[in-house]
Amino acid sequence: MTIECNEVEVSIPKPPSLNQLYSGKFWTYRVKQKEQYYEGISRALEGYDRWTMDRFAIHLRYNSRYDLDNSVVAVKFLADYLRYNGYVDDDTPKYFVDLRITYDGDLKKDQYIAKIICYNYTLI
């Protein structure tokens, strides 16, 4: 699928809860969770042409029992994935310019939809 505009909307996996990740778990547990989540992001993006971008934003809609702040893990993992896989140079405020997380009861249970807004993108 070719990016025709400056937005890509993908269904991403339900993330582990932030509370679960940091409730006394050993760091290897957190690494394993992140790697598994990266695999889900990779599958979500596999139908798109590769691109790079100068800056980006993420708008996340979700429907799960998680509190809003526990869903931030999905954004953290997605931003890190974009950075580590060459979509953007970094995920510092110079590059990651906006974040929105919204609960959406109209989505299916445990569904997470991420909209990646790409600024100055280039297909590669």
What's the pLDDT at 5? 55
Euclidean distance between CA atoms 118 and 7, whole angstroms: 6
pLDDT tens string 63-110: 999 989 889 999 999 999 999 999 999 999 999 999 999 999 999 999
pLDDT at 16 over 60: yes
Reference 112, options 64, 47, 54, 57; nearest CA is 64
Q: How far apart are CA 62 and CA 10, in angstroms?
A: 12
φ, ψ of residue 101 in degrees (nearest 5): -125, 125
Q: What is the mean pLDDT of the chain?
A: 91
Domains of the chain, earliest start first: 7-123 (3.30.1330.70)
Question: Which tens digits make up the pLDDT trace of 19-71?
Answer: 877 776 778 888 899 999 999 999 999 989 899 999 999 999 999 999 898 89
